Amino acid sequence: MNIAFENHRRSVLISALSIGCLVAGVALAQAQNETPGASSQPPSGPPRILKTSPKIGAAEVDPAVKEITVTFDRDMGGGMSWTGGGPDFPTGPEDQKAHWKDKRTCVLPATLQAAHYYRVGINSKSFQNFRSADGTPANPAAIYFCTQGASEELKRKVLKPQIVSLTPVNGAKAVDSTLTELRVTFNMEMGGGFSWCGGGPDFPTIPDGKKPAWLEGNKTCVLPVSLKPGTSYRLGLNAPSAKNFQSAGGVPLEPVVYTFRTKD
């Protein structure tokens, strides 16, 4: 049985053609980094984003840009779920609607302001209308960027969180089985969500009544565990379908595979 401890902030749907549902992702997986065109095999799994415009994490976007685009690795079905809300989601001309440029690239018309931070979701937990032609939904993702003139504070919002430390360390071979919690510490304040992912005997047992928690400052997340001697463990921090380890600005941690073994 697969297990995932997952907590995420709610998002608001801005533009969609129909409503879909996504079961919380629980499979342990690493981010895919295939080179486009490197294989003659047809793409498998959920549709992957090949590129966006503006680029994800860009900090000096020209506010004169009139559209946001996303390009996938395969032909898509024609639906869309651009998600988001509030001042971080760009407005657009009333006479222009989101549309498909071709079967793989979708366009969101936008009117940007200088010195601003933007975040646009592509699918979400509740809205899954970016789907391949065969009906497979793309994993939720986001395009986030700052326009020219943004303050240093706003620019920090587009930085990806990095892991400063793991307890026990990743790859440790002689962990004391009496250890009662795993810890991950980040280099910045996080948003309060988490995705501890995995399943089966490789995933640590969680004591009854216990659950993950953030320490004061939201930089360290603690996962209560009950470990066995002489056992190898494997779990994930985020996964392609579960990315709730996010910075306070909403930038997700790139999925990390975390392994260790307890002493006999």
Q: What is the pLDDT of residue 42?
A: 72
Label residue 257 exposed, middle or buried (CB < 10 Å: 0-12, 13-18, 19+): middle
Q: Where are the domains of the chain?
A: 13-30+44-158, 163-262
Q: What is the pLDDT of residue 21?
A: 20
Q: What is the pLDDT of residue 136?
A: 97
Q: What is the pLDDT of residue 101?
A: 97
What's the rounded Cα separation, in Å, for the pair 88 and 117? 6
Look up the CATH number of domain 13-30+44-158. 2.60.40.1220
Place of tokens 């969680």: 206
Confidence of residue 37 (pLDDT cuts 50, 70, 90): very low
Measure the CA angle with vertex 148, ends 144 and 154; round to 5°. Answer: 50
For the chain, what is the mean pLDDT?
86
Mean pLDDT on 208-236: 96
Q: Class of the 163-262 domain? A: mainly beta
Q: Would the CATH topology of 13-30+44-158 be identical to that of 163-262?
A: yes
Q: What is the pLDDT of residue 24?
A: 26
Least confident of 39-53, 73-87, 98-112: 39-53
What's the rounded Cα separation, in Å, for the pair 207 and 229? 16
Please, which residues have CB within 8 angstroms of residue 10's CB and are 6 or more apart in sequence?
A: none
